[in-house]
């Protein structure tokens, strides 16, 4: 461990920015030196109680502070410009998903950071969930035989009433909507398990409460290997108390159902190497859970930030890079195009 602490700034002190700050504050190798947020209320509270320097925008922060890295938690439409600045100053960057709003911008930022050897990470937190990591290991080990079908689903009661038209969440142009904000997680989980689909189809974007953006995202994915699957994401479902993320996988040798808390595996033949019997097996989060140095809102939130620091220190290779974030944006771009082709009357879909 190096003697000097990494100097880090947080740009955007919304819900994620504040969560990240509380977590990274407890990291022994990090010093949070400054925060930028346009809200005077937030910056005053943070400067008074969290004793950090505050700025109302990223420009003055980046100009005045000498830093090693930033955590970027701004509305996604702002990220491209900020990341160019961050890159110019040679800083490592952790960015909240979806990190950019098009695959073209994602690819451009990936090139910039990779060519300069700067650590770049996107906050797709499922890649740090113990259960989904275990699912990936099992699928990778061929436990299900040849994978043939999958289903990736997410539900929550995030938007369950009339929506105002103000704020960045109201439009696609600023990064709002269930596709960017929520389906991106379900898509990344598919990419994490199987790689990016070769083609998308049958995309449906449905409004429940929002006026300009979708509240439900559904569609199909196709791979040249013969693997196919579907996605169903709905953030206007009041029957869910907490956000729920689940997947179902079917292969020639068995079937697997998992959420963040547990998995059920059905196998045609026993797999003694994995301690699994023929027929149904149950695994709980308690069977696979690891502890983190500091817990807030879920082990994965701390694990992903510790990983970012490990990457900067050269102890790890990025498990969720800008390239991974760009792969999600490629799928999203295609789904938006597909939705227009599929339903020409659909409104609010970027051309």
Partner 1 sequence: MSRIDRVVFGDNQFFGINHMSQDKAQEQAERFADIEPIFGVYDQAFDAGVRAVMLNSNERAIAICDRFRARKSEYPSIAWYPSIPYPHKYANIVAEKGMVGALNAMLFAEGTGSALGKIARGGMALATLDAVRLMKLLVDQEMGMFRGLDVRVVFLQNIVTDLMLGYDQAEILGEYCAHIHKAYGALPGLITQNMPLLRRKLIEWGVRDVVICSSINKIGYLMSPGIDAYVDALSANDGNAYPMMAMSTLASGAIPAPEAYAFINELNVQSVVFGASSRRNIDQTVDLIGRRE
Give me the residues that bind partner 1 (CB under 8 A), please: 13-15, 18-19, 21-23, 25-26, 39, 41-42, 44-45, 48-50, 157-159, 161, 163, 167, 241-242, 244, 246, 259, 261-262, 284-287, 289, 291-297, 302
Joined tokens for residue 11: 């740009």
Three-state DSSP state, 302 = helix
* Nearer to partner 1 (CB atom), residue 287 or residue 347: 287
Q: How far is the CB of 57 from partner 1 (least distance, A)?
A: 16
Task: Report the nearest approach of partner 1 to the CB of residue 102 (Å).
Answer: 24
Q: Provide the minimum distance between the beta carbon of 82 and partner 1 in the complex, in angstroms, as a whole number.
A: 18
DSSP letter string over 19-59? HHHHHHHT-TTEEEEEEE-S-HHHHHHIIIII--EEESSHH
Contact between residue 241 and residue 160 where contact means Cβ atoms under 8 Å apart? no
- CB nearer partner 1, residue 115 or residue 282: 282
Contacts 24+ apart (CB under 8 A), 313-320: 313/1, 313/2, 313/29, 318/119, 318/120, 318/121, 319/127, 319/128, 320/121, 320/122, 320/123, 320/124, 320/127, 320/128, 320/188
Question: Minimum distance from CB of 44 to partner 1 (Å)?
Answer: 5
Nearer to partner 1, 167 or 279 (CB): 167
Of 5 and 105, which CB lies nearer to partner 1 in the complex structure? Answer: 5
**C-beta of 90 vs 167, nearer to partner 1:** 167
Question: Minimum distance from CB of 195 to partner 1 (Å)?
Answer: 27
Give the separation between CA 232 and CA 46, rounded to whole angstroms: 38
């Amino acid at each position: 461990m190096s003697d000097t602490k990494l100097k880090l700034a947080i740009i955007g002190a919304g819900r994620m920015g504040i969560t990240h700050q509380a977590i990274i504050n407890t990291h022994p190798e990090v010093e949070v030196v400054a925060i930028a947020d346009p809200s005077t209320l937030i910056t005053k509270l943070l400067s008074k109680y969290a004793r950090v320097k505050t700025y109302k925008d990223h420009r003055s922060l980046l100009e005045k502070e000498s830093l090693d890295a930033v955590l970027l938690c701004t509305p996604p439409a702002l990220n491209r410009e900020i990341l160019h600045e961050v890159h110019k100053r040679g800083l490592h960057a952790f960015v909240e998903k979806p990190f950019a709003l098009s695959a073209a911008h994602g690819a451009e930022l990936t090139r910039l950071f990779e060519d300069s050897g700067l650590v770049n990470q996107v906050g797709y937190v499922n890649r740090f969930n113990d259960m989904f990591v275990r699912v990936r290991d099992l699928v990778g080990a061929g436990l299900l035989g040849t994978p043939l079908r999958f289903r990736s689903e997410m539900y929550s009661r995030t938007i369950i009433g009339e929506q105002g038209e103000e704020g960045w969440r109201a439009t696609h142009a600023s990064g709002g909507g269930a596709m960017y904000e929520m389906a991106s997680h379900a898509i990344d989980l598919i990419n994490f398990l199987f790689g990016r689909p070769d083609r998308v189809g049958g995309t449906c974007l449905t409004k429940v409460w929002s006026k300009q953006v979708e509240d439900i995202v559904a569609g199909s994915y196709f791979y040249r290997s013969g693997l196919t699957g579907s996605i169903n994401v709905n953030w206007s479902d009041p029957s869910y108390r907490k956000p729920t993320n689940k997947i179902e996988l079917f292969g020639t040798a068995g079937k697997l159902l998992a959420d963040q808390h547990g998995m059920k595996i059905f196998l045609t033949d026993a797999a003694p190497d994995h301690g699994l019997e023929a027929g149904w097996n149950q695994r709980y989060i308690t069977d696979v859970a690891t502890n983190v140095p500091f817990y807030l809102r879920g082990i994965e939130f701390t694990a992903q930030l510790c990983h970012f620091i490990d990457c900067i220190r050269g102890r790890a290779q990025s498990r969720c890079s800008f390239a991974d974030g760009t792969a999600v944006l490629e799928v999203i771009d295609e789904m938006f195009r597909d939705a227009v082709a599929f339903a020409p009357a659909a409104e609010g879909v970027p051309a």
